[in-house]
Amino acid sequence: MFDEIIQTEFKADGTVEVNLVEDAAQELECAVKDFTSSWRRFNKIDASVAATSGAQLGIEWWRCLEYLALADSRLKEAFCLGDRSPRSIRLFHSYKLRLIEGGGKKLPADA
């Protein structure tokens, strides 16, 4: 997906530090797989069934929710690479919704 990712850090004293982020594409790929599998697993357990079908299923529902939250956080880190700008977060959420919907459409290059 990415050829190279370069992380640039501007320090208060005016110096600039540029680093090549290694394995960013592989991390993003793993994060996508983790998120989509967590999402599918979470959707298999219906919240209303979890509330009414006993403690074991309720615990499983909460665990799936926790794993989904962790996978979401990992995906956000891999996608945004530390950029917390509103534009970056907006692109992340658009990408995440496309993963959830399974539309298979790619984000436009000028997004």
At residue 107, the pLDDT reads: 52
Nearest-CA neighbor of 23 among 62, 77, 78? 78
At residue 97, the pLDDT reads: 92
What CATH code would you report for 5-101? 1.10.150
Per-residue model confidence as pLDDT tens digits over 13-58: 888 777 766 677 788 889 999 999 999 888 888 666 656 766 667 7
Dist CA 95 CA 16 (whole Å) = 30
Per-residue model confidence as pLDDT tens digits over 53-88: 666 677 888 888 999 999 999 999 989 888 889 999
Looking at per-residue confidence, does 109 or 83 come out higher? 83
Q: Which pTM was predicted?
A: 0.66
Dist CA 83 CA 81 (whole Å) = 6
